[in-house]
Amino acid sequence: MAKKIMIVDDDPHIVKYLKAIFEDNGYETCSASNGLQAYDVLKAEKPDLITLDLEMPEEWGPRFYRKYSREPEYKSIPVIVVSGLSGIDHAVRTAVAVVKKPFEPDELLDIVKKTIG
Q: What count of other Cβ atoms lies within 10 Å of the Cβ of residue 17?
A: 15
Half-sphere exposure of 21 (CA within 13 A, CB side): 21
68: amino acid identity, one letter: Y
- pLDDT tens digit at each of 117 positions of the chain: 899 999 999 999 999 999 999 999 999 999 999 888 999 999 999 999 999 998 888 877 888 999 999 999 999 999 999 987 766 666 787 899 999 988 999 999 999 999 999
Domain of 34, in residue numbers = 4-116
Which pLDDT score is estimated for 85? 73
Count: domains in the chain: 1
* CATH for 73: 3.40.50.2300
Q: Whole-model pTM?
A: 0.93
Which pLDDT score is estimated for 106? 96
